[in-house]
Structure 1
Amino acid sequence: MNYPLWDVPVIGGGILIAIISIIHVFISHFAVGAGVFNVLTERMARRARDAALLAFVRRHSFVLLLVSMVVGALTGVGIWFAIGLVHPTGTSALIHVFVWAWAIEWIIFVVEVVTAFVYVYGWDRLPPQIHQRIGWMYAVSSWLSLFVINGILTFMLTPGEWLATRDVWDAFFNPTFWPSLVLRTLVALALAGLVTLLLSTLQTDDVLRERFVTYTAQWVLYPLIGMIPAGFWYIAQLPQDVARWFEGSSAPLTMFFMLSALFTGLILAVLLFAALRQPRHFTWPVALLIMFFGLLATASTEMVREAIRRPFLIRDYLYSNAVRVDEVESINRTGILAHARWVPVRQVTPETVRQAGQAVFDVQCRICHTIHGFNGIAALTATWREETMYAFLGHMHEVKPFMPPFLGTDAERRALAAWIVSLQQ
């Protein structure tokens, strides 16, 4: 309410953030896992004096640098740009709660960038022991970056004792911190293996291709198996009302959850019955396909993680429409238009009903809904009468628990209902 509206045509701001975030999550987790893969594989290759394996991991390290420092960096900046414009209130809240965590993460990121470049360009310039130490520095710093971001993301769903204490340690080490960290670490290792598996299939030598496919398929297999108990551990730590969503109370959430499990299962099946059984005949199109399955599993899982937080951006503190829980009573008493800074009208009059209705929509609904695009309010209510719309607005948080309650006066509620129904014309 305290910031101007940034309208993203057709798709809406939420979908824009989702698109950028899914790409970034895939790449950033790959970068974390790839750091561990590179340094362990280099260590093994040097001990065995395996020149072919050493050459392979060298090429892989260049792919890591190219993907993470170009696409990963661009999407990382893109996330900050998008969330800062679409949800400035939520972004501000996270910065203020975790100001020192963000500062530490940015220092870690600088270390990550420097060590990645030194590692890639130090293959022929550094002694083997020093080179491996640089590799470990990259691997540890990239995982520490995951450690910090994991604390902030899990806080949004399970702020825990922070709601009462306002202590940053309670916010960071919240109820889902540890299971989420274990799960994300396993995901990072698996995604690194999927990308490396694709690179393995590009080997022209049949013997080397068979060796590398077997090695990288095993690298993916064990984290995938570990995700099963880690996933159950994570779900067990969720609030009881959130855990019920996995039992079918939300059809879209259940669908995305099942898609995540399906794509993960397909990856596991292809590894067991193709990559490990017939590694010499495992081709790059199949490897590319299961890497795409990994992207789809990542996307589905992230959609679930975002959905189970609804109707909040920060559970029990900030609604998804940027209204704090402690503001609700005041807004219902004096009206949301009186609280909003960037609206053309401050109260509802017979002359300003339509204008006030759209202003209420912009303040309360625009973050999740477009007018005529994705999740468009016009199409969703195309057959509704005004009284139906008015009644629904008063109980929408009960009918659809993932939506915040309507906030404002009765006149504002009627104005919003009238404006939405007018879109049918």
Structure 2
Amino acid sequence: MVARETKVAEEESGRRLSLISAVIIAIVAYLIFLSVVIVPLQGGAIPSTTVLEKGLSESTAHYATSGIPVQDVDIGNMGRSAVIAFTMLIHIVFANLHVGGAWVIAVTALLYFRYRRMRYKNLARSLTLFTLILFSAGSTFAAGGMMALIALFPDLSMNVFHLYWWPIFAYFLLYGVVIILLFTFWFAWDRIRPGVHLAIGFGYAASVFIQTVTIDTLAAGMLTPG
């Protein structure tokens, strides 16, 4: 009876994993099709400034000959800095735990699959769930900090996005990679082969590390004198 229930549970888990895999494959295929076929056909690879270059250069409208007014949030320089400090410092606390926790999870899972001791499995699963919660909270403060930066320091934000576009683009692109790997790692416990599970775990840890490097590239540039 127990063996039959175990077999049924394994079959159900296999079907769920197949469904999750199918959804991920469909999303990836859609993004590839969108990038390779749809975007080029719609002229999406051509910058809008190139398309409108002639019209912009000949424009005599008020907004083209003078600075566009920016809504000023009247909380003072100290207030604006305090908002950024509050949101980003809290985000950094979550982010640091996330970066370190990812590698602890991957190594602990490796120890479990190597020695088959349940304490390693329980620790890895508990840390993974804890990291899921951390990721959600940390991402909320990251989005809030980005919104505050754009709203409170519009000129700085414009220059940052202009100078550090590719690190920022890679940073947000890796958000999707981290989400897919982290949630797959959590929901795939005991449902896929250990080697594949470990590959996902270490891929998740590496993605978090690379994501941190991309945003630190921006921070290092901003903190460099001159």
Q: Within 1, Cα distance between the matches of 2:149 and 2:173?
A: 22
For the residues of structure 1 that align with 2:172 and 2:79, how far apart are their CA atoms?
29
Higher Rg of the two aligned structures = 1
Residues 1:72 and 2:138 are matched in the alignment: yes
Shift of 1:7: 2.4
Q: Which runs of 5+ in 2 are unaligned?
A: 1-66
Which of 30, 38, 41 does residue 105 from structure 2 map onto? 38
Indicate the residue corresponding to 1:56 in structure 2. Answer: 123
Q: Distance in 2 between matches of 1:103 and 1:151?
A: 12
SS at match of 2:192: coil
Q: Which amino acid aligns with 2:73?
A: W
Residue number in structure 2 paired with 1:22 = 89
Listed as ranges, the matches of 1:137-286 within 5 Å are: 137-158=203-224
TM-superposed deviation, 1:3: 2.2
Q: AA paired with 1:27?
A: F
Report the Cα distance in structure 2 between the residues aligned to 1:86 and 1:132, rounded to whole angstroms: 43
Unaligned runs of 5+ in 1: 159-314, 317-425
Identity between Structure 1 and Structure 2 (%): 22
Note if 1:122 corresponds to 2:188. Answer: yes
Deviation at 1:60, TM superposition (A): 1.0
Q: SS of 1:4's equivalent?
A: coil
2:151 corresponding residue in structure 1: 85
Q: Partners of 2:75 and 2:194 in 1: how far apart?
A: 51
Residue 94 of structure 1, aligned match among 141, 146, 160: 160
CA distance in 1, matches of 2:147, 2:138: 14
Cα displacement (A) at 1:4:
2.2
Amino acid at match of 1:151: T
Q: 1:126 and 1:100 mapped to 2: Cα distance?
A: 35
Report the counterpart of residue 55 of structure 2 in structure 1: none
RMSD of aligned alpha carbons: 1.8
Q: What are the residue-to-residue correspondences of 1:287-298 with 2, within 5 Å? A: none
CA distance in 2 between counterparts of 1:112 and 1:93 reads 27
Residue matched to 1:237: none
Q: Paired residue for 1:113, among 140, 156, 179?
A: 179
**What's the offset of the Cα at 1:11?**
6.9
TM-aligned CA deviation for residue 10 of structure 1: 11
Distance (whole Å) between structure 1 residues aligned to residue 74 and residue 106 of structure 2: 45
- Higher-helix-fraction structure: 2
After superposition, give the CA deviation of every residue in 1:56-109 in whole Å (9 maximum; x if it has no partner). Answer: 2111101101111x2111101001111111111111111001112222222111
Query: In the alignment, does 2:198 pair up with 1:132?
Result: yes
The 3 A distance-change label for structure 1 pair 21 and 39 is same
Alignment partners' CA distance in 1, 2:187 and 2:133? 12
Runs of 4+ in 1 over 6 A off after TM superposition: none
- Residue 157 of structure 1 deviates from its aligned partner by 1.6
SS of alignment partner, residue 125 of structure 1: coil
Task: Name the TM-score, length of structure 1 as normaliser.
Answer: 0.36
Q: Cα 1:3–1:10, aligned 2, differ >3 Å: closer, same or farther? A: closer
2:114 aligned to which of 29, 47, 53: 47
